[in-house]
Amino acid sequence: MGYGPEDKYFVVELTYNYNVGSYKAGNDFQGITIQSSEVLERAKKIGWPNIEEMGRLILEAPVGYKFIIIDLPQPVESDPVLSVAIAVLNMTKSVKYWSGLLKMKATSSSLTISSLSYDGKNQAWCW
């Protein structure tokens, strides 16, 4: 799922793992920041609640994943995904993967959670 071709846009793959009863939140994908007034409009139309947290609008999935939505028009010529946040056991290896293969830059990083973006300029929208 994404906003354009995989070679130019961020893509999220949704999977279903059979025979897995539950996942422990906290050692995985933490959230994503998207610039799109359109997403907010669609969420309002279907009655999806948005939460204001630290001056940011957040749509939260039923299982707790957070989508920070920047209330600006969705870019036409570029990816509306501004940043992602991850929490993993081996942060060094994961940041190397995201920044190496996906060409994202760490905008903040610790042993427990890191935020990455494509241009490194979106720090105000990161975790």
pLDDT in tens, 98-122: 777 777 888 887 777 888 887 655 5
* Domain total of the chain: 1
Tell me if 117 is assigned to some domain: yes
pTM of the model: 0.72
Instruction: Answer yes or no: are the C-beta atoms of 67 and 32 closer than 8 Å.
Output: yes
pLDDT confidence of residue 80 = 87
The domain in which residue 102 lies consists of 29-125
Tell me if 57 is assigned to some domain: yes
Tell me if 22 is assigned to some domain: no
pLDDT confidence of residue 38 = 92
Tell me: pLDDT of 126 over 60.
Answer: no
Integer Cα distance of 72 and 27 in angstroms? 30
Tell me if 15 is assigned to some domain: no
Tell me if 3 is assigned to some domain: no
Tell me if 72 is assigned to some domain: yes
pLDDT confidence of residue 73 = 93
Q: DSSP of the chain, one letter per residue?
A: -BSS-TTTS-B------TT-----TTSSEEEEEEE-HHHHHHHHHTT--EEEETTEEEEE-TTS-EEEEE-SPPPSSS-SEEEEEE--S-HHHHHHHHHHTS--EEEEE-SS-EEEESSS--GGG--
Tell me: pLDDT of 45 over 60.
Answer: yes
What Cα–Cα distance (Å) separates residue 103 from each residue in 91, 92, 120?
Answer: 16, 15, 11
Tell me if 12 is assigned to some domain: no
Tell me if 40 is assigned to some domain: yes
